[in-house]
Amino acid sequence: MKEVVLWSPKEVADWLLENAVPEYCEPLEHYTGQDLISLTKEDFEKPPLSRVSSDNGQRLLYMIETLKMEHHIEAHKNGHANGHLIISLEAPASENGFSDKTKLNGMPNGYRKEMIQIPMPEPDRSQYPMEWTKTFLAFLYAFCCFTCTTVTISVVHERVPPKEVQPPLPDAFFDHFDRVQWAFSICEINGMILLGLWILQCLFLKYKSIIARRFFCIIGTLYLYRCVTMYVTTLPVPGMHFNCSPKLLGDWESHIRRIMKLLAGGGLSITGSHDMCGDFLYSGHTIMLTMTYLFIKEYSPRRLWWYHWICWILSRVGMFCILLAHDHYTVDVVVAYYITTRHFWWYHTMANQQVLKEASQANLLSRVWWYRLFQYFEKNVRGIVPRSYQWPFPRLTLHMGRQPKYSRLVNGT
């Protein structure tokens, strides 16, 4: 192995990535191996290193000390054996012409007992704990937010003005593109393909519990925001082709049946479960098309560029078909895309920076209302979650790889 002091900046960056501390790659991008092993505690008390981690670099310093000791042992392994210093001195030839080795300090064969103490960092807990209970709670949070959205749609539907009384609002996209009847089905098919690809990909992720928790937390918050925007501003239908279901006028039993029908159908029109109006600002279909693409790209290898492009095309074609079907105003799609992408980027920036997981006056992101929820889900995750994959059924693999073999016992009598 090449000596640490001879490492180039690229080799330092590779070592940081290999040891799951990629957050230090940028502040240490010009550091050589000699610069790396020269780092001290004082260096982590000054910018930019002081802004990377909240542990003042203790974890990285431990790793550097371990690295130095490993290379020290490697470089001197010919002069040491099992922690004992070897001193082999040739004795002068005796009078009878034979050479003999002296005994140093009473030890035969020229060995002197001198223990070398190697300070090693204490074993630390897992950097990426699974915590399936938190993942289940995140799923419940997302389900509750989706249910709340469904209830809001049913309530807002009662307030939508008839299209004969309040015609659709002017929209620049509708002025240039005529309505295509089958376009909205293409949008929902694309969304189901992306969701299926993401579920399949998530099954093979090594840290699927952490990543699924993030997906549920973000999607739940986005649908909760959608409840507010739909309720406070009720827009008229965007086209005269809408056939909204009759208003129930306070019949809560029918409200509950309608809500259960919408939940069972996943809020999709192609399942025949969505025949209500009023859920325009902002587009829930755009949320799913954008979120699935962002998660697929973020947690898949960079070399699969063709896979990313296919998912990007599916997402963009789906959003274009929403507008082409005249089932949402352009502002619905634009606002949904903006909020979804920003929330995804904010959440992951906070999750990848340890210092942003602690509330302080300098951390303005800690003032968002969902910060406590974020802290609960992410406080034990230290560093950027690697894009690592594994077979999702380890027990099945074990049984397939270790099948018992039987042989017939022949009675010799």
- Which positions are annotated as active-site residues? 285, 328, 332
Q: Which distant-in-sequence residues (6+ apart) come within 8 Å of 337 by Cβ? A: 286, 290, 319
**Tokens coding 232:** 């406070």
Helical residues (DSSP H) of 90-240, grouped into ranges: 132-157, 172-176, 183-204, 208-232
CA atoms of 197 and 295, how far apart (whole Å):
10
The conformation of residue 41, written as its DSSP 8-state character, comes to G
Phi then psi for residue 186, to 5 deg, are: -60, -40
> DSSP letters along 95-127, please?
TTS------BTTBGGGB---------PPPPPPS
Q: Which of 223, 171, 167, 257 is nearest to 340 (CA)?
A: 223
d(Cα 8, Cα 28) in Å, to the nearest integer?
Answer: 12
What gap in Å lies between CA 145 and CA 221, rounded to an integer?
A: 7
In total, the chain counts a number of residues equal to 413
Structure tokens at 63: 């790793």
How far apart are alpha carbons 241 and 179 in whole angstroms?
A: 9
Both tokens of 117, joined, read: 């103490």
Residue 161 is given by DSSP the state: P
Tokens representing 281?
């600002």
- If one counts every other C-beta atom within 10 angstroms of the C-beta of residue 114, the result is 12
First vs last Cα of the chain: how many Å apart?
A: 62
- The set of residues, in sequence order, having a beta carbon less than 8 Å from that of 8 and lying 6+ positions away, is 32, 33
Query: Scanning the structure block, which residue is given the tokens 């519990």?
Result: 209
Q: What is the rounded distance in angstroms from the CA atom of residue 396 to the CA atom of residue 219? A: 32
